[in-house]
Amino acid sequence: LSLCEVCQTVKFPNWKYDVENRPHLPERKGQLVSVDFYGPVPQGRGGVRYLFVCLDVFTKFIRLYPLKSATTKACLQRIMDDYIPHVVKPETILSDHGTQYTSRKWKNGLNELGINVRFTPIRNPQSNPVERFMREIGKACRIYCEENHKKWPELIPHLESWVNETVSDATGFTPRELMYDEDAPRLFSELLPTSPEGTSEQKAIQVFARLKKRAEKREQRRQRGLCKWNPVVGEEVLAEACRLSDVNRAITHKFARPYEGPFHISWIVSPTIFEIFDEKGRIRGIFIKGALKKFRR
């Protein structure tokens, strides 16, 4: 049974592989900006249904753009017309594999601006730092928009201000202070803890050291109870499948196979990230080790 191909693709593993986390540790503002979409949500004032979220990973400074449609053109326009002139010019932009970001227009548009493009591994949203703030957006909307879901656009300016003017646990400073090198006014400043003073260079050193220390602690907690596995080029593996329900076709994701394959490893991007291809030599994509599973014959 352990060698049956069908059994291997339908069975969830009862263990977790040892996946070495490689945290994003930028050393300065603008070095890495993480982006994603929140939505679709009920249409609000102005016909907006999506929220384009931009996070500077070093400072934790967030920018929120309500949009009518989630298109490449809309994203590029916000980056060129607002983010670069009013926030910072990114060196690299990190995103998932949404069609807005995998299009040639997205890559060419950013390259023309001198911005590099990076992608997270397939079906591994937690590797995108902006996901943490997506949960905060959802929580705020549930609290303040419970009675009228269409009022969410009115909350966005306040939410952006709350995040950027609150001391971050990760850095020890407010995002606005790190981004603009200024002390932003904060409510209840006499009661709330204030961030330490210093030059922008001193603050950057403190922030990097703090981010690195927190990443090391997360890795120590995560390492408990994991199985060792180091895939090699050519090894056969299964990959997590994208399971979707379709009412019209009477299909439920609950009955779909959680894994697809087998595939072969073609390139070891890093000790935790791998590119795989199918039996016909077609590239399937780049996956994190946690989304792969050994295939046995």
**Is the same domain home to 145 and 256?**
no
Task: Please tell me which of 13-22, 68-77, 257-266 the model is most confident about, judged by mean pLDDT.
Answer: 68-77
More confident residue, 257 or 14: 257
Distance CA 29, CA 56 (A): 7
Residue-range definition of the domain harbouring residue 239: 5-17+227-294
pTM comes to 0.69
List pLDDT tens digits, range 176-212: 999 998 765 555 455 555 555 567 777 778 777 878 7
Considering only CA atoms, which of 46, 45, 81 is closest in space to residue 63? 81
Segment 19-38 mean pLDDT? 83
**Is the same domain home to 245 and 194?**
no
* H or E element, residue 227: none
Asked if residue 275 has pLDDT above 50, the reply is: yes
CATH number at residue 271: 2.30.30.140
State the DSSP code for 146. Answer: S
What domain count does the chain have?
Answer: 2
Evaluate the CA torsion angle 190, 191, 197, 200 in order and state its sign: negative
List pLDDT tens digits, range 90-119: 999 999 999 999 999 999 999 999 999 999
Residue 22 forms part of a structural domain: no
Q: What is the reported pLDDT for 4?
A: 77
Considering only CA atoms, which of 242, 280, 266 is closest in space to residue 97? 242
Identify the domain boundary among 221, 243, 260: 221
**Is the same domain home to 155 and 90?**
yes
**Is the same domain home to 283 and 211?**
no
**Is the same domain home to 186 and 39?**
yes
**Is the same domain home to 129 and 203?**
yes
CA 291 to chain CA mean position, Å? 16
List pLDDT tens digits, range 231-251: 999 999 999 888 777 767 766
